[in-house]
Amino acid sequence: MSRALAYWLFRYRRTWQGTIVVSVANPLLFLLAIGAGLGSLVRGDVEGVPYLEFFAPGMLAAAAFQNAFIDAGFGVATARGRERVYQTAVATPLSPGAVMGGHLLFIGLRVFVGALAFVLVMAAFGLFSSAGTALAVLPAATLTGVAPATVVAAWAVTVTDFPRLNTVFRFVVMPMYLFSGTFFSVEQLPAALQSLMYALPLWHGADLCRSLALGTATPGMTLLHVAYLGALAVAGVLVGRATFRKVLYV
**Residue 35 has what pLDDT?**
63
Query: Is the pLDDT score of 45 beyond 80?
Result: no
Query: Is the pLDDT score of 23 beyond 90?
Result: no
**DSSP-assigned beta bridge partners for residue 49:** 46
What residues does each domain of the chain span?
Answer: 2-248
**Residue 131 has what pLDDT?**
84
Closest by CA position to 59, among listed 115, 21, 129, 136: 115
**Residue 185 has what pLDDT?**
84
Give 61's contacts (C-beta < 8 A, 6+ positions apart). 140, 141, 144, 182, 202, 205, 206, 208, 209, 210
**Residue 36 has what pLDDT?**
63
H/E segment holding residue 51: helix 51-69
pLDDT category of residue 130 using cuts at 50, 70 and 90 = confident
Query: Is the pLDDT score of 31 beyond 90?
Result: no
Query: Is the pLDDT score of 250 beyond 70?
Result: no
Query: Is the pLDDT score of 24 beyond 80?
Result: no
Q: Tens digit of pLDDT for each residue in 165-202?
A: 999 999 999 999 888 888 888 888 888 888 999 999 99
Under a CB-based contact definition with an 8 Å cutoff, are residues 243 and 154 in contact? yes
Closest by CA position to 113, among listed 147, 145, 69: 145
Phi, psi of 190 (to 5 degrees): -60, 155
pLDDT category of residue 42 using cuts at 50, 70 and 90 = low
46-50, 102-106, 158-162: least confident range: 46-50
